[in-house]
Every structure is written in C-alpha cells, then in structure tokens.
Amino acid sequence: MIKDLMLLFRKKERVVIGLISGTSMDGIDAVLVKIGGKGADSDIELLEFTCAPYTPEIAARLGRLQQGCTPGDISELNFLVGEAFAGAAQSVMEKAGLAPNDVDLIGSHGQTVSHIPPSAGTGIPSTLQIGEPDVIAERTGITTVGDFRTRDVAAGGEGAPLVPYADYILFSKPGETKIAQNLGGIANATVITGHIDGVAAFDTGPGNMLMDRIMALSSGGSERFDRNGEEASRGKVNEALLKELLSDPYYTKQPPKSTGEELFGSAVAERLYGMVEGGKLTLGDLMATVLALTVESISLSYEEFIFPGHEVGEVILSGGGCRNAFLVDKLRERLGGIELTTTDAYGIPADAKEAVAFAILANECISGNAGNLPGVTGARRSVPLGKISPGGLG
C-alpha cells in the first residue's frame, strides 16, 4: 500500500476524478481531468463530465436532515451518499471509456450537512461533509481524497471557500483582475489577480439554495429548481421583503467569511414559503424577490469588499445558476458595464468547475502540497487538505 502511494506521489501526470454535491441536494457533479504537474503551474485538461442525480430516497433523507435526525441517520447517510459518489465516479469513467486502472485518483468534496465557521460567532467552529471516502475507494479501487475542509477549520480558518486555489490555476493571467463567481447553492466570489498572493475570496450569500428549496416546497418535491427563472420572471420584487432579507448581518461582515444551510437553508425557505401559503405573496413574487436577493447580495459585496481595491475587467460565472437565464440577465444588468462570461468560454462547463477544483485539490494533497489560501480562509497557516483512503482491489 505504501509503495503504491509512493508511486502515485512520484507521477508527473495524473488522471483524476473530481466529485462534488456540496450544499446542493439534487445530485453529484463528476469530472474526469488530466493534470500535469502540481501547484500554480498545473496543466489541466478536462476529459469528461457528467451529473449523477441522487435517488429519490437519498434526496428525501437529505432533505429531512435539517428537521432533526439521529446519529444513526447521519451514519447511514454517510455510507449511502458514499455509494452514490462511487456510482458517479463509475459513470464518468464509463462515459469516457476508461477503466478504474486508467484513473490515478479521486477527489471527493462530499455532501455538506453542517458548516459552522469561526465567523458565525456561535458554537464550536466545525464542518461536516458526508459521503464516506472509504466507501468510494472500496467500490472503485481508486485512491480517494476526501474531507477537504476540516484541516483548514482546525487551523483556525473558515474551511471555505477552497475553490480559489483552483480558480487561480484555471483563470489567472498576468496584468488582469477577474472575479470567478460561483452560482451554486451558496454563491462565492474569488478575486483573481496576477499573483496567487493577491487572491481574495468569500461566500457572498445564497446562490440557488433558497430558490431551489422554495420551488421544491411549492411543487411537493417534483420541481427542484426554477427552470430559466420562469417563475421569478412572472413575479414582481417585493421591495420591503428584499430590504428585510438584506438586513442580515452576514452581508456586511468583513471577509474572511463563509456560510451555508444554517443561515440560508431549509428553515428560511419554509418561513418565506409560509408567506405564499398565507396569501401574503404569490409564488412568482416570492421567487422574484429571492432571485433579487441573490443578485443584490453579490453586487453589494463587490461594491463593499472588491471594487474599492480592484479594477475588475471580467466576471466569470459557474455553477447551476448559470443555466438560469433570468438570473444571469438580472446580474448583468445590475453590474453595468463589466463583461460577464461563463467558464464554458475557458473550456470548462459551468456545472463542472467546482468538481474540477476538487480534482485539483486532490492532486495537491497527493503531491504533498498545501491547498488552502490563509489570506482567503483566515487560517493561521497553509495546511494540506484532505484525508487519503488508499485504493486497491486486491
């Protein structure tokens, strides 16, 4: 086993699978990439991408987690989600026509079920992603790196965002400043400068999370998101509610900061949807208002924390929110003259970028490199990210 890991460590080029579900509860993004080298000079080639939906059973059980669960529920889900992640890895290999022996490494972010960073100011800083890496390694026979966030939290950091390291590798260009804006369940922004020491990043607030949860509530679970923002486009923003939502102290808190389900998840969605059930708002008006919350929280965070110190030439969008045409149009309108593109323009599908990032972080772990950026997360020092579950089918 040690010999196999040393051989993997010495490789100059690796084929790596990246897996992520994150705060989403609809499925698993899986990429297959070829990575040459390591660190800032890594050469990344996307070979294949797929999205594997969760089974209705897993989706339902994940949805019930925030309503109260036993330790046994979490233990079972850890293994069930691990099986699902292993299945996603096998799916992307099959799509690419590769066998497990052709793949060197898997990097799995897992499914976030709790994230309590230091900036929350309450409780013990901690984070929990399920989707057992040992299950993935056992089912695929491929060495798997998982549990990326905990070491940064242990070092005093937020444990997020971790993607900025990959954003720099993928999108940096000397003399240019860009923002990589992820529109996932939680939205996060990375300021990419010409040198890695200048990179800054933080979670801006909700991305799709509230919109997705409200659509699920309104449809009894049959609709998991607002297709192209159609429901929101039929409504009108309730300015009083938007102002109330934007008064959350998170938005004015100085970075480093990160957030998740605890602030912008199911409990908030249920409270807001109660206004529809009570006849105070139409569904269209609520969706328009929550979409405006995503747009405004992103734009205001730029104005407060980024634009004073940076002249930004381009915003590169990624994540499922890129497929919401109404959301993208509203964000483009709000940001004025700044060029908006997606990662597709850089050869990476917008839905795939986060999974590519965790393939990169797995490659850094197995190379013996640190993967966090202390200036981003607030950690006391640079630390290696991820725990290694050795593969092997023997």
Asked if residue 185 belongs to a domain, the reply is yes
Question: In this predicted structure, what is the pLDDT of residue 266?
Answer: 86
Question: In this predicted structure, what is the pLDDT of residue 261?
Answer: 83
Asked if residue 261 belongs to a domain, the reply is yes
Asked if 273 and 230 sit in the same domain, the reply is: yes
Asked if 297 and 227 sit in the same domain, the reply is: yes
Asked if 124 and 188 sit in the same domain, the reply is: no
Asked if 224 and 369 sit in the same domain, the reply is: no
Asked if residue 394 belongs to a domain, the reply is no
Asked if 28 and 127 sit in the same domain, the reply is: yes
Asked if residue 150 belongs to a domain, the reply is yes
Asked if 319 and 382 sit in the same domain, the reply is: no
Asked if 182 and 325 sit in the same domain, the reply is: yes
Give the Cα separation of 140 and 131 in Å (integer): 14
Asked if 287 and 147 sit in the same domain, the reply is: no
Asked if 372 and 301 sit in the same domain, the reply is: no
Q: What is the CATH number of the domain that holds 192?
A: 3.30.420.40
Question: What stretches in the chain show pLDDT beneath 50?
Answer: 394
Range of the domain at 86: 2-159+351-389
Question: In this predicted structure, what is the pLDDT of residue 3?
Answer: 66
Asked if 225 and 331 sit in the same domain, the reply is: yes
Domain count within the chain:
2
Residues 6+ apart with CB under 8 A from 74: 65, 113, 130
Asked if 66 and 199 sit in the same domain, the reply is: no
Q: Which helix or strand (DSSP H or E) is residue 78 part of?
A: helix 71-96
Asked if residue 303 belongs to a domain, the reply is yes
Asked if 218 and 119 sit in the same domain, the reply is: no
Q: Quickly list DSSP for 280-344.
A: SS-HHHHHHHHHHHHHHHHHHHIIIIITTT----EEEEESGGGG-HHHHHHHHHHHTTSEEEEGG
Give the Cα separation of 337 and 331 in Å (integer): 11
Tens of pLDDT, residue by residue over 105-140, are: 999 999 988 889 999 888 999 999 999 999 999 999
Asked if residue 33 belongs to a domain, the reply is yes
Instruction: State the distance between the two ends of the chain, measured CA to CA, in whole angstroms.
Output: 10
Token pair belonging to 193: 């400068």
Of residues 46, 26, 25, 5, the one with CA closest to residue 357: 46
Tens of pLDDT, residue by residue over 167-207, are: 999 999 999 999 999 999 899 999 999 899 899 999 999 99
Asked if residue 336 belongs to a domain, the reply is yes
Q: What share of the chain is helix, strand, coil (3-state, %, to 5)?
A: 45, 20, 30
Question: In this predicted structure, what is the pLDDT of residue 394?
Answer: 47
Asked if residue 96 belongs to a domain, the reply is yes
Question: In this predicted structure, what is the pLDDT of residue 67?
Answer: 74
Strand, helix or coil at 148?
coil
Q: Are the C-beta atoms of 273 and 218 separated by less than 8 Å?
A: yes
